[in-house]
């Protein structure tokens, strides 16, 4: 184990700093808290109206929590993970709307870069630039993103055909073809995007955007400010058009947990400090 990943425990021995794992909504965590309960037991601390679950899951010490929805909620939660729980890195898992032309319901997007699409302090600052931070795009940690993408690829290789068969009947918009893993730009804003016109505007402004959601770039900004590695993985629940709210709701209830469970299990089992 890398000595930079160690800190002194209460009894003087060294202990690994935990990984922060968060989602907006409970379905997006899959079986993570139950798996932690079974593996190590769970200690729960409540702070800022959120429950932080502390324990070990798939061999990794973790703090698992729900941010709820939106950029402020996400920023507040990740700030607590950093300052109160001293996490070494942060992983966000959840669903998103597909924006890229080849991004379909059931695909997975791993964020390599994140941007707040609703930030606009023009004419004082260029569109999307975070005032006084001199940047609009925040990078995910390369090693974390690569490990997440590898876990997604393995999940789809091993379970993708069964997923497509199982869910295409329940969800007409779930592509029957094998789901794909994409890597690139994820955009965040305090809007649930649900019209073809809105998607068109996002594509025109940000042609390389793959997925739209409401938390990722806020987390990436806070992690950038504190030099904490972070990564975001999003399963596509809808295509941010007029069908978005029904597609999102059924995907969240019926499918999101299966993806998160399958991806996080593989990611955590493969995750060691040497990868960072
Ligand atoms: N609590 C409500 C609202 C969820 S908002 C509910 O359960 O119905 C949608 C959530 O999913 C956000 O956390 C966002 O990150 C993600 N999301 C999925 N599709 C989206 C879209 N088309 N536009 C924006 N966010 C989307």
Structural domain includes residue 46: yes
Structural domain includes residue 73: yes
Determine the Cα–Cα distance for residues 192 and 169; give it in Å rounded to an integer: 25
Determine the Cα–Cα distance for residues 19 and 53; give it in Å rounded to an integer: 12
Q: What is the pLDDT of residue 3?
A: 40
Structural domain includes residue 30: yes
Kindly tell me the burial class for residue 3, based on how many C-beta atoms sit within 10 Å of its own C-beta (0-12, 13-18, 19 or more): exposed
Structural domain includes residue 274: no
- CATH number of the domain to which 162 belongs: 3.40.50.1580
- pLDDT tens-digit map of 117-173: 999 999 999 999 999 999 999 999 999 999 999 999 999 999 988 888 877 776 666
pLDDT-based confidence at residue 8 (cuts at 50, 70, 90): very low
Choose which residue among 74, 97, 197 to substitute to test ligand 1 binding: the one with the highest number of ligand atoms within 8 A of its C-beta.
Answer: 97
Dihedral pair phi/psi, residue 21, rounded to 5°: -120, 125
pLDDT-based confidence at residue 58 (cuts at 50, 70, 90): very high
Pocket flag, ligand 1, residue 218 (CB < 6 Å): no
214 CA to middle of ligand 1, Å? 7
Instruction: Answer left, alpha or beta for residue 81, where phi above 0 means left and psi between -120 and 50 means alpha.
Output: alpha
As a whole number of Å, the end-to-end CA separation of the chain is 11
Give the count of domains, the chain.
Answer: 1
Structural domain includes residue 129: yes
Would you say 241 and 216 are in contact if contact means Cβ atoms under 8 Å apart? no
Structural domain includes residue 1: no
Determine the Cα–Cα distance for residues 131 and 7; give it in Å rounded to an integer: 35
- pLDDT tens-digit map of 169-211: 766 666 557 899 999 999 999 999 999 999 999 999 999 999 9
Residue that has been written with the tokens 């032309």 in this structure: 101
Structural domain includes residue 239: yes
62 CA to middle of ligand 1, Å? 25
Pocket flag, ligand 1, residue 28 (CB < 6 Å): no
Q: What is the pLDDT of residue 89?
A: 98
Determine the Cα–Cα distance for residues 62 and 32; give it in Å rounded to an integer: 10
Structural domain includes residue 275: no
Q: What is the CA radius of gyration of the chain?
A: 18
The range of the structural domain enclosing residue 70 comes to: 6-269
Q: What is the pLDDT of residue 178?
A: 83
Outline where the chain has alpha helix (H).
32-39, 71-83, 142-170, 196-205, 216-225, 244-254, 256-270
Which residue, among 168, 146, 172, 144, has the nearest Cα to 230 in the 3D structure?
144
Pocket flag, ligand 1, residue 192 (CB < 6 Å): yes
245 CA to middle of ligand 1, Å? 8
């Amino acid at each position: 184990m890398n000595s930079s990943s160690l800190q002194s425990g209460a009894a003087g021995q060294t202990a690994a700093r935990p990984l922060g794992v968060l989602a907006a909504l409970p379905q997006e965590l899959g079986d993570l808290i139950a798996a932690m309960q079974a593996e190590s037991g769970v200690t729960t601390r409540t702070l800022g109206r959120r429950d932080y679950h502390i324990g070990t899951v798939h061999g990794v010490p973790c703090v698992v929590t729900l941010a709820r929805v939106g950029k402020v909620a996400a920023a507040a939660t990740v700030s607590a993970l950093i300052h109160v729980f001293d996490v070494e890195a942060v992983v966000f898992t959840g669903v998103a709307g597909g924006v890229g032309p080849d991004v379909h319901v059931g695909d997975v997007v791993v964020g390599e870069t994140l941007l707040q699409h609703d930030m606009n302090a023009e004419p004082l600052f260029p569109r999307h630039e975070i005032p006084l931070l001199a940047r609009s795009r925040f990078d995910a940690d390369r090693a974390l993103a690569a490990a997440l993408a590898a876990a997604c690829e393995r999940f789809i290789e091993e379970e993708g055909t069964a997923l497509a068969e199982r869910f295409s009947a329940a969800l007409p918009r779930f592509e029957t073809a094998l789901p794909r893993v994409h890597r690139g730009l994820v955009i965040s804003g305090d809007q649930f995007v649900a019209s073809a016109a809105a998607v068109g505007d996002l594509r025109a402004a940000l042609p390389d955007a793959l997925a739209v959601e409401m938390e990722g770039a806020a987390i990436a900004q806070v992690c950038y400010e504190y030099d904490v590695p972070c990564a975001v993985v999003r399963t596509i629940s809808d295509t941010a058009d007029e069908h978005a709210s029904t597609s999102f709701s059924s995907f969240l209830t019926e499918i999101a947990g299966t993806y998160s469970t399958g991806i996080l299990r593989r990611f955590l089992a493969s995750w060691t400090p040497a990868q960072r």
